[in-house]
Every structure is written in C-alpha cells, then in structure tokens.
Amino acid sequence: MVFRVRRSGVQGGQSLLSLRPVLRSALAQTNQTGYTGGVRGFKVKCMKQMAQGGGGATGGVSSVKISLRKTSLVDYPGKIASVLFFTGCNMRCPWCHNRELVLPEPTSARDADPEELVRLDQALAHIGKRRNVLGGVVLSGGEPSLYRDLPALIWRIKEMELAVKLDTNGMNPGMLEKLFQTKETAPDYIALDLKLAPLRYGEMALDVRMSARTLVSADSLRKSAELIRNSGIAHEYRTLALPTITEKDIAALAELTDDAPWYVRAFRPGNCLDPKWDDFEPSNARDAGALVDAIQALGKNGVSG
Ligand code: SF4
C-alpha cells in the first residue's frame, strides 16, 4: 500500500486526517527506508503494511529470525510478557552470556540449531493468539535497536493492545530518536544498561568494522540516556556487579541517571563471551549491595535485583 500524499488529501477516498498517525510514523521512518521528498507527491510506505511483512526496501518484519521466550513473569515489571531476542549486537562485553545471539558465526552445534530461532512474523502470530493472557512484549537481544524495522514492529505490537518494553545497551541513540517521534512507535517502558563508566565503553567495543551509525562510545551512551530521561517514558537502569566495576564507575554513570529505579544484579560466570571471564568468582549479595549503597549515597534510586 502506497499513499500518495497531496495537499488536498489521500488517494483512495481516505481522509488525510484519519491517516495522520500512520503518515507521521511513516515519515519518521524515511531516513531508514531511503524515501525522500516534500509534501506534494510524497510517497510513504504504510507502516502497517511493512509490519505485516511487505517491507519492500526494508524487508518487513517477516524476514528476520529471532529467539522467542513465550512467557516470562520477570522481564517486564508487573506484566506477563513474551520476550523477543534479536540476534546481533554492536558490543562485545566479555562477560556476555548471549554468545549465540551476539556472534554472527555459530560457536557450537547448539548455536547453529535452526530450531531455536523462529521467524518474527510467526512469533507475532503466536503472540497475537495469546494477547488475552499477555500484558506486554519485551524486545531484547542481542541489541534490538539494530533492527531497522523496529518502529513498524512496535506499531504492530501496540495494535494488539500489548505494552512494549525495550531493552537497550544505549549504543544506537539514532533509533531511539526515531521511536520517540510518535506515540505509536514509542516503547512503553525502557531498560537501559549502564555497564561501566562511559569512558570505559571502549573496553566493550566491537572492532573497527563496526559502522559509525552504531559506534560504541561514551557519547552514544550519554545521548541515549538524555533521550530516555527526557522522553516521559517509564524506564529503569541496569548494572551488573562485575568484578571490575568500581565506585568511580558508579559515580560517572550516576551523572546520566534520574530518579528511575537503578537495578544492580549479581554477576555469574559461565559461557562468557571471553572465556577468561569464566574464571572470575561470581559476585554475591554483598558485592551487589555495596554498589546499591554507592548509588543511594549519590542520591539515586539504587535497588538490588
Ligand atoms: S550489550 Fe548485551 S548482548 Fe551485547 S555483548 Fe554486551 S551483554 Fe551481550
């Protein structure tokens, strides 16, 4: 479906006013899809059609495979949710447990098992059938903000009257800006990872082949945190009690936060991206508690969790 927008209305007997939310989101998408132009004769691809798999230039939501957790009681605060795990990440945190999602190449027979991944449109169909028992959908990964049809996907989930939570490492503020342009594409809840002091983010960078669009940098983290703080969207911060994190890291990260909950979780070695990290001792409640105390001492809303 292509709408040719004219000053006097939209072809096909539909009023421009009734289509305004669709067009607004589609326009927000234009940087991604490559469509350009002014108001007269402007062509936009209907977001709804893209979400249903007719993505054309963008591929649509049917063309990717994801990992689906059908039911979770812990990933979306206060809601029963399904979780979509996207493959690919623009970071390489050495402690990451999601190597099968992060690495482009299979690292074991299990990673290569195609049965573990499902097509996104199939996952959405499953979620649609269960929408009466679900309260929301969590978009996680990997790094879901790298999925370029994310605005259309969120649109489609919201059409099912389900809330959307986005988990992000904050390295793609450009996508956050796109999502926040309309309420139809804005997540209802965001969890932002705060890993180490911003200036230490280079320790988790992918190699130089990574595109500038998603460069791992302190600036990306600061920009994402600012966008989230000013978005009016409910959010939380998440930090792992890593063996290498210090109170200096917490103090530097605190500058990016507001009074939203800042959860500190224990680090557990095992299946880490860098096997050397499997030799670290797991952190315990006391380690995590010390970080929570440090957060609270800075006047922030530190929580064990
Ligand atoms: S950002 Fe998350 S998914 Fe990506 S490498 Fe780091 S821990 Fe893994």
Query: How many A from CA of 137 to the centre of ligand 1?
Result: 20
Q: What is the model's pLDDT at position 24?
A: 56
Query: How many A from CA of 115 to the centre of ligand 1?
Result: 22
The domain limits of the chain are 1-45, 55-304
Domain 55-304 - what CATH class? alpha beta
Beta carbons of 240 and 195 less than 8 angstroms apart = yes
Q: Rounded to whole angstroms, how far apart are CA atoms 285 and 291?
A: 10
Predicted confidence (pLDDT) at residue 7 exceeds the cutoff of 90? no
Ligand 1 atom with minimal separation from the 142 CA: 3
Which amino acid residue places its CA nearest to atom 7 of ligand 1?
96
Query: How many A from CA of 92 to the centre of ligand 1?
Result: 6
Q: What is the model's pLDDT at position 9?
A: 37
Report the candidate in 168, 196, 199 with the shortest Cα–Cα distance to residue 291: 196
Hey, which of 84, 95, 102, 103 would you mutate to test ligand 1's pocket, going by the most ligand atoms within 8 Å of its Cβ?
Answer: 102
Q: What is the mean pLDDT of residues 259-288?
A: 92
Q: Rounded to whole angstroms, how far apart are CA atoms 92 and 143?
A: 11
Query: How many A from CA of 130 to the centre of ligand 1?
Result: 29
Ligand 1 atom with minimal separation from the 97 CA: 8
Q: pLDDT tens across 235-253, in order?
A: 999 999 999 999 999 999 9
Which amino acid residue places its CA nearest to atom 3 of ligand 1?
142
Hey, which of 66, 87, 90, 91 would you mutate to test ligand 1's pocket, going by the most ligand atoms within 8 Å of its Cβ?
Answer: 91
> Which carries the bigger pLDDT value, residue 197 or residue 7?
197
Predicted confidence (pLDDT) at residue 210 exceeds the cutoff of 80? no
Q: What is the model's pLDDT at position 216?
A: 79
Q: What is the mean pLDDT of residues 73-99?
A: 94
Q: What is the mean pLDDT of residues 52-79?
A: 75
Query: How many A from CA of 118 to the centre of ligand 1?
Result: 21
Taking every pair of Cα atoms in the chain, the longest distance, rounded to a whole number of angstroms, is 67
Structure tokens given for 172: 């793609």
Question: Which residue in this structure is represented by tokens 């992000």?
Answer: 168
Query: How many A from CA of 273 to the centre of ligand 1?
Result: 9
Q: What is the pTM of this model?
A: 0.81
* Mean pLDDT, all residues of the chain: 81
> Which carries the bigger pLDDT value, residue 218 or residue 52?
218
Task: Kindly state the percentage of the chain with pLDDT values over 70.
Answer: 72
Q: What is the model's pLDDT at position 36?
A: 31
Q: What is the model's pLDDT at position 25?
A: 53
pLDDT band, residue 42 (cuts 50/70/90): very low
Query: How many A from CA of 97 to the centre of ligand 1?
Result: 8
Predicted confidence (pLDDT) at residue 274 exceeds the cutoff of 50? yes
Query: How many A from CA of 91 to the centre of ligand 1?
Result: 6
pLDDT band, residue 109 (cuts 50/70/90): very low
Residues in contact with ligand 1 (CB, 6 Å cut-off): 89, 91-93, 96, 98, 102, 141-143, 169
Q: What is the mean pLDDT of residues 28-34?
A: 42
243 CB-near residues (< 8 Å, 6+ apart)? 267, 280, 281, 283
149 CB-near residues (< 8 Å, 6+ apart)? 32, 50, 51, 55, 58, 59, 60, 61
Q: What is the mean pLDDT of residues 192-221?
A: 78
Q: pLDDT tens across 136-184, in order?
A: 999 999 999 999 999 999 999 999 999 999 999 999 999 999 999 999 9
Ligand 1 atom with minimal separation from the 90 CA: 4
pLDDT band, residue 27 (cuts 50/70/90): low
Predicted confidence (pLDDT) at residue 41 exceeds the cutoff of 50? no
Q: Rounded to whole angstroms, how far apart are CA atoms 92 and 265?
A: 19
Which amino acid residue places its CA nearest to atom 6 of ligand 1?
93
Strand ranges across the sheet with 79-86: 118-119, 65-76, 79-86, 136-141, 163-168, 189-193, 234-241, 262-266, 302-304
Hey, which of 83, 89, 92 would you mutate to test ligand 1's pocket, going by the most ligand atoms within 8 Å of its Cβ?
Answer: 89
Which amino acid residue places its CA nearest to atom 8 of ligand 1?
96
Most confident of 17-21, 258-262, 285-289: 258-262
> Which carries the bigger pLDDT value, residue 40 or residue 115?
115
Query: How many A from CA of 230 to the centre of ligand 1?
Result: 25
> Which carries the bigger pLDDT value, residue 170 or residue 109?
170
